[in-house]
Amino acid sequence: MKLKDAGLWKERGFIAGQWVAADSGQTTEIRNPANGELLGSVPHMGAAEARRAIDAAHAALPAWSKKTAGERARLMRKWFEQGKNAAVSDFEKAGAEWAKTKKEVDAAVDPTDFGIIKLLKEMNKK
């Protein structure tokens, strides 16, 4: 798989600040639907891993809540940009035309920015 930033592709799940395999060790293959090419695999996680992720999110909430709206917006923007880069790479890998892909991805930017700003303003009111 070709990504602008190869570090974006992880074959593990992110739980409590660490990239981890499934407790069972099982994985699920991810294939390009256009040609069947194996792109990689992801851990086949279950309820135990989900519970640990939820517990970690609850534990992280106090620190997240102390961040300013601007800090949270910058972090969410960085997360969005990383996802956007991965999406563009996926479209390229699947054979989509770059211009069409870029237009579709860029169309998602404005609503996402608006949603993040609105969410953070609402959170700051509480």
pLDDT tens for 74-116 read: 888 887 777 776 665 655 555 556 566 666 666 665 555 556 5
Query: Tokens in use for 4?
Result: 């602008």
What would you report as the CA-atom Rg of the chain, rounded to the nearest whole angstrom? 17
Output the pLDDT for position 70. Answer: 86
Cβ contacts of residue 109 below 8 Å, gap of 6+? 80, 84
CB atoms within 10 A of CB 43: 21
In the structure, what pLDDT confidence band is assigned to residue 1 with cuts at 50, 70 and 90? very low
Please state the rounded mean pLDDT for residues 46-72.
Answer: 93
- Whether residue 11 contacts residue 27, with contact meaning beta carbons closer than 8 Å, is answered with yes
CA angle, 117 then 120 then 123, to 5°: 150
Output the pLDDT for position 125. Answer: 65
